[in-house]
Amino acid sequence: MISLNTYKLQKLMDLKIDFSFQKVFGNELIIPFLNALLERPPKDKIHRILQSPANKDEDLAPLSFLCMTNTGKKLHIFINVRNSFDIVKHSLYYAAKAYSNQNYKDICPVFFINLLNYELLNQTESFHTTYLLKERQAEAPLLDVFELHFIEYPTLIKAFEAKKVNLWNDAKARWLLLLGIVDQRFGIFYEDLYKEMNLLSLRDEEIRLAFHKWHELSQQKKEWTAYEKRLQQTLDEEKELHEAKQREKAAYEKGVKQLQINIAKKMLADGMEIEYVAKITGLSLREIESLTKD
C-alpha cells in the first residue's frame, strides 16, 4: 500500500511544477525523458536540445524545447504541467502560436505534452493518450506534423498500484512515475514508489542522476523558497481557473433550467398534461406541479 509520508513531502519538490522540472531536467535529462515518452524510432529520436525555456516566474505558459533528431530534423516540443480545465484549447492555442512563429518554408512538427493531475479522457484505459492528424476514412496518420499527448497521473498511479506497469522494463513509465512521487496538489508522497525508484536508480544511471539533482535542489534553501513561491502561484492560478469554470457551468445550468421552465409554462398554458410536459422538458413532476400554482 502506498502511504503518506509528511516528512518526505516537506523535503522534496514536486517535479510536476515547472520550476523544479526545469531545474532537474534542464538540457541533460530532458533528452532521455522525451525519447522515452515519445517512443520514436531510433533514427527519429532526439539527439540534442537547440533551445530550452528561460525561467520566467511570471509566465505560466508551457515549457518549450526546440530539439534536433538524429537525422537533423527539428521538433518543437511543449511540456505543460498546469492543470487548467480548458486544457485542449490551451494546447491548441500554444501549438498554433508555435506554427505561426515559424518560417513557412521550414516548418517543423509541434508536439504538445500535458502532464495532468486529473483524469480527462475515457477513450482508453491507458494513462498516455496521443492524438495525431489522420485521414478520416482510412485513418492514415499524417506523421511528423502534430502530436497532442495527455498523461493522466491518477490513471498511471492506479496502474502502478495494480502492478500493471513495470518500472524495470518500461522506460516511459519509469520517467513519468519519477515525476509522480510527490504530489503537492493533493499533499501526497508515494513512499512505495519512491523506494522502488530509488532501488532502480542503482541500475539506471540517468534515473540516478535525476534522483541526485532532485534531492540536491530540494535541500537548497534559496531554491526551495523560489519553488514554494512558484508552487503557490501555480496553485492559485489553477484554483482561479477551476472556480471560473464552475461559475461558467453554474450559469449555463441556470440558463438551461430557465429555458425548461419557460417551455413547460407554455405547454401548460396550451393545456397539455403534466406527465407529458415533464417527459418533454426533463423537469420533475413536482417541478411541473409547482408551476401550475404560480
pLDDT in tens, the chain (294 residues): 344 455 465 689 999 999 999 999 987 899 999 999 999 999 999 999 998 876 554 466 899 999 999 999 999 999 998 887 678 888 999 999 999 988 888 889 999 999 998 888 877 789 999 999 999 888 898 888 999 999 999 999 999 999 999 999 999 999 999 999 999 888 899 999 999 999 999 999 999 999 999 999 999 999 999 999 999 988 888 777 666 566 666 666 777 778 888 887 888 887 888 888 788 888 888 888 787 776
| pLDDT for 6 | 55
Q: What is the chain's Cα-based Rg?
A: 24
Residue among 140, 119, 138, 136 nearest 128 (CA):
119
Task: Domain ranges for the chain, please list them.
Answer: 6-219, 241-292
Residue 274 burial (CB < 10 Å; 0-12/13-18/19+)? middle
User: Quick one: cell of 165?
Assistant: 506497469
9-14 long-range contacts, CB within 8 A, separation 24+: 9/182, 9/184, 9/187, 9/188, 9/189, 11/218, 11/219, 12/181, 12/182, 12/189, 12/214, 12/215, 12/218, 13/182, 13/214, 13/217, 13/218, 13/224, 13/227, 14/182, 14/183, 14/184, 14/185, 14/231
In angstroms, rounded to a whole number, what is the distance separating the alpha carbons of residues 38 and 149?
Answer: 9
User: Quick one: cell of 44?
Assistant: 527519429
Its pTM surpasses 0.75: yes
| pLDDT for 261 | 82
Beta bridge partners of 80: 114
What is the amino acid identity at position 61? A
DSSP for the chain, please give it: -----HHHHHHS--TTSHHHHHHHHTTTTHHHHHHHHH---GGGSEEEEEE-----TT--SPEEEEEEETTS-EEEEEEE----S-HHHHHHHHHHHHHHTS-GGG---EEEEEEESS----S-S-SEEEEE-B-TTT--B-TTTEEEEEEEHHHHHHHHHTT-S-TTT-HHHHHHHHHHSEETTTTEE-HHHHHHHHHHTTT-HHHHHHHHHHHHHHT-HHHHHHHHHHHHHHHHHHHHHHHHHHHHHHHHHHHHHHHHHHHHHHHHHTT--HHHHHHHH---HHHHHHHHT-
